[in-house]
Structure 1
């Protein structure tokens, strides 16, 4: 059985490797739709609140009104230096790769799996007209070949 739950959060990011408008720091109201696989054990399988009790606080603490940032982005060190110099603190969600919606989906999928939930897939909405579907098969492939996250060639293919 599939149970579907929807969430949203606001976050800033940039795609530092691009040369278009997305290289600029900007924000999105991200939408997340989780498709949970559950086993029917009786008349009541799962309370929707069981999902919300873990996922909503996680999104609020780590994502909402924060900045998704690649630790290799030169802007990251600039912002960290600003924090050291001024004592001001930013909410960073640090990535080891570009903050693309694909990498966001990988990260969210991984975190939700770590909470003990079984996902068939998630949908991540970056804008009203731009949504990706990220499946368990995508997650397995990304874990098998981490070069997919950075866009590098797999080590066996490098020249």
Structure 2
């Protein structure tokens, strides 16, 4: 059986590798739809709140109103220096590669899976007309190819 849950968060990013409008700092209202494989063990399988109690606070703490940034982006060093000099604490979600929607899908798939959920597919909506569907096969293939990895361990909230 599949349970589907939806979440939203706002975040800024840029893709410094591109030579188009996405090279500029800009933001999105990201929408994610999680598709979980669950097993019925009586009258129900999993409470919706089991997902919400972990995923909602995690997205709020680490993603919402933050900036997704590649640690190799020259802007990253500038922002870190700014934070040190001015004592500001900007919310930076570090990536080991470009902050493309594909890499965001991989990172979120990893983090949600590490929370103990059996995620089978993740849809990430970047704009009103652009959605990527990322499934367990994509995730396993990307992990085997080591195309992307996180900089810090996932901290799932209880």
TM-score of the superposed pair, with normalisation by structure 2: 0.93
Alignment RMSD, CA only? 1.0
Compute the displacement of 1:146 (Å). Answer: 1.6
Kindly indicate whether residue 109 of structure 2 is the aligned counterpart of residue 97 of structure 1: no
> Which is higher, the Rg of structure 1 or of structure 2?
1
Unaligned runs of 5+ in 2: 150-158
Paired positions, count = 149
Question: Counterparts of 1:120 and 1:63 in 2: how far apart (Å)?
Answer: 21
Residues 76-155 of structure 1: pairs in structure 2 closer than 5 A = 76-147=76-147, 149=148
The equivalent residue for 1:153 is none
Deviation at 1:120, TM superposition (A): 1.0
Structure 1 residue runs without a partner (length 5+): 151-159
Q: Separation in 2 of the partners of 1:22 and 1:45?
A: 42
Residue 132 of structure 2 aligns to a residue in which SS? strand
SS in 1 for 2:33: strand
Superposition map of 1:34-53 within 5 A: 34-53=34-53
The 4+ residue runs of structure 1 with deviation greater than 6 A are none
